[in-house]
Chain A
């Protein structure tokens, strides 16, 4: 059905002028918006999502059936990344101007100059593009409340990214507040492909008064994706991590040589820096055509790249997840993914960066950095065809975010406690907020906690009328500064002595460097001059190898969906059930799979492979549950702990995305596997065995910052700020001892279980694998599945150069033991025991 309306006709005419035809999902979204519905538009990257949710508001404005408020805000557009906001402004402005509407579309993020922010506080633009933090900040000003009452719609871009994070919860709370002012407010979310779309809708619309909702699904066209994997001419049969894939650079270069532009995605920022550096070394003549884009770079540098993408002047952009998100730019010609795709949805989103326009095919090249990644790419392709995409789990009532919100609302005009409780409970995250939790948070922000322990403390206070308000302008100022830091780690600005700022690098890296050391950042070789006042001053280095900053959080686990698909692919290839597409890939991996099958067994989806082997190091027990690294980390600790309960012994372990290794001096006798693998009591046992206090102390850093327990400190704030410096670890210790009932401590523990250890997945994984039949293999040597685990464990113990040498030696030895690659017959020589010769216990260079 084609929705009717004069406004829509004008939009269609304008589109026709540009040579566009509305997609069915755009028509559908326009109609849903016009009917007053909330909604979620679920579509792969790009492809006209913006205009789909924007058309409805534009059309009603064109029809003039709006209250006559020429200078009031009508729409807010929330985007998770500051870097995206500017592009969004341009995209929203284009039709506004073309259609002759007198709307002002403006930006408000942490990067917005304070003079403009002050002006916006007095009078908001018709359309505001902002981030969750900046919106929350806006709610902390008394003058904004009255302005926002006329708001008609909120669009949350990249909702799949936000949901499942505290910024998502911050958004939920802001939406609850906005709806409190205007129950007719329409909320729309934009989401990339996601499994739990219905839940994403529920979370977005909240638990308030029932409103109509519409989920629009733009058809993802899997067949429009041309997905190949770069198959190296030869690949070791004993894969190990730690490769950056640079050995495949030569084979990649031809793909960059042709016409058109390429996005080359890596999984970490450090890998991006290295690839960028290596490409330019191999092709110096491409200087200026090959650039770098990642989230730590200064806005200006990123924008130069984004502009280059708009103009189509770049040959290749080496980037990370910073370009996953919706910066909308014309489709590039191809996308290269270096290293494990990690997740199905993520790969789809990246692939969607090429061939945006209707009927232009997306072209994706997978570059495996080690042999198993060939199978990961194949598994991802199969999962894509079958539509098995990951979901995101929304967070349940984080009290730190609530504490921050209470102060924000108190500053922004104040609140009555009963009213605010009702409002907060209309957000999905706090729908089940208990009376006790509410009371505690209210107490926390008014009196600090248990009264006796916090004399003369007030952050906010009820006045005679029972309205909670801020008490002190200085506190208010600091609270506002704190809102923006919800998710950032302590980062130092990197800046040239002669002015220009390049971006930020985490303190944990820069703190290890000494003046004079060189490092790679922002595609440049930099020499550290000094660190002062939260800034690392640098100059260009003429030469030197240069370390590469390692940013936190680079090691993403393989998703459940992809792990499952991988296990299935390995099994399929082992049994020879391959289709045409997979034939070449299987061929590339055949020798590895052969060795795995010959020396042990190639696991299938319905069994749990266990390998035991002996070496000079001791007795190795390998398990391959294929649950992803995070879950394996907790699981390995849990199994080691359970085993040591049976008989005291020391067990070392290492984990990766496929499985885990437990190493002990004596053979681990396991009589009752089902008891060992039982999911019962997982949470309690984990907290007991994982040095939970230390983990919680680390997790507390984020909690403390959000809840306003620590003051992050700002450059150039002088003595009074320094007097308020205390590390979150110190505050954690003090609270643990003097206010152990503080619920934020509980929250830190809970977050450790949920985020650090992924206990949800572990529990489900245990329940599932404890049902799988065990396939027990005794092996003479490390198998291809076992080898990377062994190498990783070694890595934790020795310095990296010695490590590379030793791992290479070991891999050579295993290759020799495996015999020539052509050979189908089992090798005869048994003398050279790889593990026994290669890994003497306790050898360490530290």
Chain B
């Protein structure tokens, strides 16, 4: 079955998987995304690989749409906002400033809350300038009962939302193959797909308890995990 969104009851909370790859948590009025990797184009260009500008604009545009449709007043980025040191270009700053301004205007709130769980790429790229008003938190920062992480954590007492892995699921049919980004929902943790337009993925090897929700064309589709 295809849905533009998928509601889950998980760890006692109602969570909504969105076709864009974002996760909406209505009770705390929050949207969560992982792995934006803004400025990746610029990092590539700085190292001699000619990738054009554009994907970053698309990433923030999709984020803006999700925020507008959910009306969320808080955004949590589960790590890797920026791809690398050369990623903090004037263009990227300008994009973020504009995006924040539009979100604020749509919401009618001068200071919507944006939080970044510092990911491995962010550590290399450096924190956002304070003028952007993005608060930076360390791994394991808690929102309600859930612990928010970028990288996997082996022994959390809490239920965890995380990114970092860029999970994709491979589908194979007669004469056809597809790779789709996906949410991986286990009993104790949910892995979000990479949200950035210019990000790749790695096939995820699901455990028995995991459910896989692929996203594509704005839809969320549950993929049966093979026994």
Contacts and interface: CB of A to CB of B under 8 A. Distances in A.
A449 B198 contact: no
Interface residues of A, number: 37
A725 B42 CA distance: 14
B52 A738 contact: yes
A280 interface: no
Interface in A433-480: 444, 448-450, 452-457, 459, 472, 474-475, 478-479
A459 B84 CA distance: 19
Interface stretch (A48-56, A294-302, A727-735, A767-775): A727-735
Contacts, number: 89
B53 A726 contact: no
B44 to A, nearest CB: 6
Contacts of B53: 452-455, 738
B27 interface: no
A682 to B, nearest CB: 22
A167 B19 CA distance: 44
A796 interface: yes
Contacts of A450: 52
A709 B47 contact: no
A458 to B, nearest CB: 8
A449 B55 CA distance: 16
A353 to B, nearest CB: 38
Interface centre among A449, A724, A739, A844 (most CB of B within 10 A): A724
Given A734-B52, A734-B54, A738-B54, A456 B42 contact: yes
A387 to B, nearest CB: 40
A709 B197 CA distance: 18
Contacts of B54: 453, 734, 737-738
A709 B89 contact: no
Nearest to B172: A846
Interface string A718-751: 0100011111001100110111000000000000
Nearest to A797: B174
Given A448-B52, A453-B52, A723 B45 contact: no
Given A454-B45, A456-B45, A796-B175, A727 B200 contact: yes
Contacts of A796: 174-175
B54 to A, nearest CB: 3
Contact of B91 (A455, A478, A846): A455
A624 interface: no
Question: What is the predominant secondary structure among interface residues of chain A facing chain B?
Answer: loop
A477 B213 CA distance: 42
Given A725-B200, A726-B198, A709 B49 contact: yes
A708 interface: yes
A711 interface: yes
A710 interface: yes
A479 B49 CA distance: 10
Nearest to A844: B174
A700 B137 CA distance: 40
A734 B198 contact: yes
B108 interface: no
Contact of B49 (A724, A737, A844): A724
Contacts of A727: 200
A734 B51 CA distance: 8
A797 B54 CA distance: 40
B52 A730 contact: no
Interface residues of B, number: 29
A207 to B, nearest CB: 30
A738 B89 CA distance: 18
Contact of A444 (B43, B50, B174, B175): B50
A474 B51 contact: no
Interface centre among A475, A719, A731, A797 (most CB of B within 10 A): A731
Contact of B48 (A708, A719, A739): A708
Contacts of A731: 51
Given A454-B50, A738-B54, A726 B200 contact: yes
A455 B86 CA distance: 12
Contacts of B83: 723
Contact of A711 (B45, B49, B89, B173): B49
Contacts of B175: 796
Contacts of B84: 723
Contacts of A797: 174
Interface string B19-44: 00000000000000000000011111
Interface in A768-827: 796-797
Nearest to B41: A734
A199 to B, nearest CB: 35
A448 B41 CA distance: 12
Nearest to A403: B50
A708 B49 contact: yes
B48 A459 contact: yes
Contacts of B47: 474-475, 478, 711, 724
B50 A449 contact: yes
Contacts of B51: 448, 709, 726, 731, 734
A515 B91 CA distance: 45
B189 to A, nearest CB: 23
B148 to A, nearest CB: 24
A709 B41 CA distance: 12
A727 B49 CA distance: 13
A482 to B, nearest CB: 10
Contacts of B124: 719, 723
B225 interface: no
B154 to A, nearest CB: 20
Interface of B: 40-55, 83-84, 89, 91, 121, 124, 173-175, 197-200
Given A711-B47, A723-B121, 8 more contacts: A453-B54, A459-B48, A472-B48, A478-B48, A726-B51, A730-B198, A730-B199, A735-B52
In order of increasing CB-CB distance, the 8 nearest A-B pairs are A738-B54, A448-B50, A453-B52, A475-B48, A457-B45, A738-B52, A739-B52, A459-B48
Interface of A: 444, 448-450, 452-457, 459, 472, 474-475, 478-479, 708-711, 719, 723-727, 730-731, 734-735, 737-739, 796-797, 844, 846
8 contacts: A448-B52, A457-B46, A459-B50, A708-B50, A726-B51, A730-B198, A730-B199, A734-B52
